[in-house]
Structure 1
């Protein structure tokens, strides 16, 4: 049971990093970026290309930073050349959100097509030097340095993002943009620049999470980000859109629920857990556990 507990913590950390970025862009910019999963995948795939073409001995921490940068760049490109023009030309907020949703679906196909073209296969493997890290055993628990890194990165990125949003001047600007972008612009807040920064952070979290998941599973799957979108929606709806503590709670609740389902029921019902949690929360508390007030009070 202790081993399953650790597995749930690792899974929850990966869900958290993936969902944090999506929750940030959705909560602040009202951008439901369905290309987030492809950005997640492409961060890992870019790291794979570097290890194949440059050197297989690149340290893991360097690859994590590289994947995060790739994710940030892709997200900023989407924001500047796709999402911002749509927002400026849309008749109203509802029309903008719908157009962005459709555009992000189309944009998500581009990284997948590039990955399939370069790799000639849906699944490729990272070098063994990266995926095989020292293993520690104590109290009946087996955990590797890579898995410890996943947990630490998940926790530290959450704390850093919470501190940025709730304790800095930039975070106050983000909360103002989340409430009313037009008023924020009148107050002198550089909305365009802050929006690009928000998307950069969102993409960086996705890229780093993609590389860590690929290293943990020893595979880079061109479609790996697609099924995680459902999990991210479950996490965000559980915790509340835009809520960083809510995303943390939702990620680990979902991870523990899935792990329990695998142990006691069977792996076939694992994905059904996400659907069930979404339905229950929507029926009982549609705004999520923390709701939108997390942005107002942060």
Structure 2
């Protein structure tokens, strides 16, 4: 299932990144040609990431197969002093029995295809993995060792739609448990006088929740600790497509917003410089026009020439003994 998801999601994400890098390259080219705004640092990096994801998605999902780890009995929850055997299966192409076992990330000296745990202790709890010579390391299996009188053992910790679920009410030292009742979310499911497993052939979302069991062990009534069993629904590609498309739209919208802001800033700066240049030219034209008009007025209306005032010439003084004519006339009259 994981390989199917990987082989589907990686190409999809590669397509999205490729489209995004192409979009940014296109807008970068437009910005460079129109408003001379370089967009360096976007497309090359995204192109490298896209090519890397493309290479990963192009790898075959049928490389070396993973080893398969199983348990017998199949319970991943056991009590102290219980016995369990782990089995590791490879692809059997080389027919090699050499197996490497890992417990909590550390290699163990066991090199056979089976790993037996007898008289289990708390220290045996943890994560187990195995690897054969002709396979890659297996998925981890967690084994829990508990100290209690009664323990609920599920076949699955996480159920999916339609999968079967098996529940067991396990007593310490494999003692027989009587009058067993299984509960789901504190609601009784089934009662048996003698201990039997509870089986759900086709699970649904309603089967998730807390489970526990009760029973009589050595004539004493015990109750197991509650255990939560989760549910994982069928994988829908829309669960991945919707967030990816939303992220893509957000990135594209952000890129367009940044480009628009830069273009607008450049256009505003150009308009400001053009307006300043136009104002300077208009002012110069106004000064030239005013000077020309003044010169024209000076030519049409010349200043009058200065005319000297006539000099005043006084009458000569009469000679002594002579009387003016006007006086003579008056006397004669």
TM over 0.5: no
Please classify the TM superposition score into its range, dividing by the shorter chain length: under 0.3
Bigger relative CO (Cα 8 Å, ≥ 6 apart): 1
Normalising by structure 2, report the TM-score.
0.18
